[in-house]
Structure 1
Amino acid sequence: MEYIQQNFNVNFSYGVFFSSNLFDPANTCLASFLATKAEEAYIKKLLVILDGGVAAHHPALTQQIKQYFQQVPGFQLAPEIVTIAGGEGVKNDLPLLFSLVDAIDKYAIDRHSYVIGIGGGSLLDLVGFAAAISHRGVKHIRIPTTVLSQNDSGVGVKNGVNYKGKKNFLGSFAPPAAVFNDPVFLTTLDPRDWRSGMVEAVKVALIKDAAFFNRIEENAVAMTAGDMPAMQELIYRCAELHVQHIGGAGDPFESGSSRPLDFGHWSAHKLEQLTNFELRHGEAVSIGIAVDSVYSFLLGWLPEADMHRVLTVLKNMQLPIWHPLLEKQDGKPSPVVAGLEEFREHLGGRLTISLLRAVGKGEEVHEMDLELLYKAVDICKNNQ
């Protein structure tokens, strides 16, 4: 037998920058990054895809973007700033995906150029996937505009859209060239989006950093009321923990089934789908965290006092901890619980669920006791 063995490694590196008023001419953060990527031989192009809701709340933004990039040597902004809707619905719109691919083609955005997404996590997922499938991978820059995208999804390596009702069924692992977090965008968020974005920090603190959870616990009420310095502290630490895990766990592209950063997500993904995405992602994750924390208590892992601490933090953030779809429906299994098998498929084979051994310490299991799970649901219902 003859064969040829191929082995190679690909290095990925990107920065997550924190800077206010990103498109102020005096702010050189983004311009300085691009300057390091400029080439003397040719002009690189930039295509901006902007969330329409962000544009509406920041009416001067489009003009600011155009003026800002005029001062960046070596780059040329495409003549159109493509403005699309934001929100989860964009991930269910395949014609919209291909319209972005068409824009990349129309404005000749090659693999040396950049697509810049400005918006919430759903828009960034869509834009990143459009870039990833164009020319086998156009570079993309993310400018997240929500709490959730600044502290979690926007700093990661995944992109994707929903397909046949399955969340992120079509997607890619395509790390961004860079991420720029600007707190000014958070000032115009809907209160639901402000609140629900905090839950990913609760999640990562519970599985990785007890001291961070303590800090969140102290500031939960103030942050929910709009304390920006506390929110910026939360976003930075949450993003830092996510980035450290993605780069340090040895499986950034999730070749295996271990996904501790999905604590609370197995039920959340199904709840989003079953409610036709009326539940915000963060609201669904809050419910998922509550159920899995109570389940951890029922296993004898998490002390009862700590279980109640988790529920109290979520309630202090004005987030839900229960939904009727978690209960059996006319004697039939809960449609959310039935989603466990779908989550196993999404993981690529073996069911792997993250639970809590303690505040700050996650541990994975490969099966769930359904009777115990329904008891956890009842406790969440009774503690609303």
Structure 2
Amino acid sequence: MNKTTIIRQSIQVNFNFNLIFTSHLFKVDNPILVDLFTSNTHAKSNAIVVVDDGVTKAHPQLKASIANYFETHGTSIKLQGNILEIPGGEQAKNNEAYIKTILESVNNFGIDRHSYVIAIGGGAVLDAVGFAAAIAHRGVRLIRVPTTILSQNDSGIGVKNGINYFGKKNFVGTFSAPYAVINDDSFLSSLDDRDWRSGISEAIKVALIKDRVFFEWIETNATALNNRDQQVMNTLIHRCAEMHMQHIQNSGDAFEQGSSRPLDFGHWAAHKLEQLSNYSIRHGEAVAIGIALDSTYSYLKGYLTANSLTRILNCILNLGFSLSHDHLNAHIIDGLNEFREHLGGKLTIMLLKSLGTGFEVHEMDEAIVLKSITYMNDYIQT
């Protein structure tokens, strides 16, 4: 009988990247991009640029500005090929043809592991382009330029990429750290009111589970946020992004090998609601409803006080979100099983015990979930 032997391997890899805040990234006198490029060990690097077509429609001069920027700084980097445009929103993640188009550009223009893919757009476009960059040559350098509030304070600053498959959100994807993330607040001026508001829900989420003071700041500044006060929004984005990045760094589980997902508070229902509505609801709008649902559930289970729930629901309403939706019904329960599968078999849901303090449970009472929906539908703001 052969003797069993085991060789153990332990690999640690450090990922370092900067989240940079700026305005008018592609003005030729803005040094941020050229500084990133010249920090490369190669004398000159290549790049392809992929842009959310909604961004180019809202900023008609953007493509010309990008081309002019690269031409002006041509000693450091070369723009290869035409600037690619792909649809924004879930269309980018529902059609794998866009991934193939990006991979073809990587191949045709010699984009290697010392070259760059620059993704400009909302969270869905960043997810899709990031996935393509992560699987090309097992990973080429990705620079993310988020253009929505939701992507600047949450989805664009992490290490996840992916597309939708089999009708399931983010079924196919990778964990891959970007080379850099650049938040340019000049893109935010063109957002419609729904997209302006949508990103606030992720700030409410992280505040409720981690930072009561930040939640109270959001309560206090609801009117300024509704009035599109740019400075107030910049403060919200900065704090929300900072908290997300701190969690990724300190959790010890940046690539989500375990079942704990604190930053998915409110998301099990949100993802299902998006699917049931055929993605007619914005992600942030769905998250706001998901937060309200899990907060109401926390109250009905006796974990959260009535006053705290009232403050949460009023804050959500004051920011212009809804607590109800045509597809918020018994079918939402299916989202629990899909979330369990996404986590790897063990259901882990974040609930609230107080404002700023979350805790995890591993089962949900479906009857109380349905009571929570009824409570929200009947809620009258006080």
Same fold (TM over 0.5): yes
The equivalent residue for 1:21 is: 24
Report how far residue 74 of structure 1 moved: 3.0
- CA contact 1:39–1:74 (8 Å) conserved in 2: no
Structure 2 residue 14 is the aligned partner of structure 1 residue 11: yes
- CA contact 1:353–1:366 (8 Å) conserved in 2: yes
The structure-2 alpha-carbon separation of the partners of 1:72 and 1:365, relative to structure 1 and needing over 3 Å to count, comes to farther
Question: What whole-Å deviation, never above 9, does each CA across 1:326-381 have from its counterpart, x for those lacking one?
Answer: 32xxxxxx111122111100011100000001110110000011121111111110
**Distance across 2 between alignment mates of 1:340 and 1:39:** 48
The equivalent residue for 2:362 is: 366
**Distance across 2 between alignment mates of 1:326 and 1:53:** 29
- CA contact 1:38–1:74 (8 Å) conserved in 2: no
**Distance across 2 between alignment mates of 1:193 and 1:64:** 24
- CA contact 2:349–2:361 (8 Å) conserved in 1: yes
Of stretches 80-89 and 285-294 in structure 1, the one that deviates more from structure 2 is 80-89
- CA contact 2:298–2:351 (8 Å) conserved in 1: yes
DSSP-derived class of the 1:337 partner? helix
**Distance across 1 between alignment mates of 2:207 and 2:74:** 39
**Distance across 2 between alignment mates of 1:72 and 1:125:** 28
Structure 2 residue 349 is the aligned partner of structure 1 residue 353: yes
DSSP-derived class of the 1:324 partner? coil
Report how far residue 2 of structure 1 moved: 2.6
- CA contact 1:147–1:186 (8 Å) conserved in 2: yes
Report how far residue 95 of structure 1 moved: 1.3
- CA contact 1:16–1:180 (8 Å) conserved in 2: yes
Report how far residue 38 of structure 1 moved: 4.2
In structure 1, give the amino acid aligned to 2:134. Answer: A
The equivalent residue for 1:30 is: 33
**Distance across 1 between alignment mates of 2:118 and 2:215:** 33
**Distance across 2 between alignment mates of 1:269 and 1:159:** 16
Question: What whole-Å deviation, never above 9, does each CA across 1:18-58 have from its counterpart, x for those lacking one?
Answer: 00111111211222122212423xx3111100111111111
- CA contact 1:112–1:139 (8 Å) conserved in 2: yes
Report how far residue 221 of structure 1 moved: 2.0
Report how far residue 102 of structure 1 moved: 1.1
DSSP-derived class of the 2:350 partner? strand
DSSP-derived class of the 1:37 partner? coil
- 5+ residue gaps, structure 2, are none
Of stretches 55-64 and 10-19 in structure 1, the one that deviates more from structure 2 is 55-64
In structure 1, give the amino acid aligned to 2:296. Answer: V
**Distance across 1 between alignment mates of 2:332 and 2:250:** 32
**Distance across 2 between alignment mates of 1:12 and 1:72:** 28
The equivalent residue for 2:238 is: 236
- CA contact 1:121–1:149 (8 Å) conserved in 2: yes
**Distance across 2 between alignment mates of 1:107 and 1:320:** 47
In structure 1, give the amino acid aligned to 2:45. Answer: K
Question: What whole-Å deviation, never above 9, does each CA across 1:203-230 have from its counterpart, x for those lacking one?
Answer: 0000011000000000112202211111
> RMSD in angstroms over aligned alpha carbons?
1.1
Q: Show the 5 A alignment for 1:3-82.
A: 3-40=6-43, 43-70=44-71, 71=73, 73-82=75-84
- CA contact 1:205–1:212 (8 Å) conserved in 2: yes
Report how far residue 323 of structure 1 moved: 2.1
The equivalent residue for 1:147 is: 149
The equivalent residue for 1:331 is: none
In structure 1, give the amino acid aligned to 2:20. Answer: F
- CA contact 2:158–2:248 (8 Å) conserved in 1: yes
In structure 2, give the amino acid aligned to 1:14. Answer: F
- CA contact 2:46–2:116 (8 Å) conserved in 1: yes
The equivalent residue for 1:257 is: 259
**Distance across 2 between alignment mates of 1:338 and 1:109:** 42
Of stretches 258-267 and 96-105 in structure 1, the one that deviates more from structure 2 is 96-105
**Distance across 2 between alignment mates of 1:297 and 1:64:** 51
Report how far residue 72 of structure 1 moved: 5.3
Structure 2 residue 336 is the aligned partner of structure 1 residue 340: yes
- CA contact 1:206–1:359 (8 Å) conserved in 2: yes
- CA contact 1:49–1:117 (8 Å) conserved in 2: yes
**Distance across 2 between alignment mates of 1:142 and 1:38:** 20
- CA contact 1:268–1:281 (8 Å) conserved in 2: yes
Query: 2:304 aligned to 296, 302, 305, which one?
Result: 302
Runs of 4+ residues over 6 Å off in structure 1? none
The equivalent residue for 1:191 is: 193
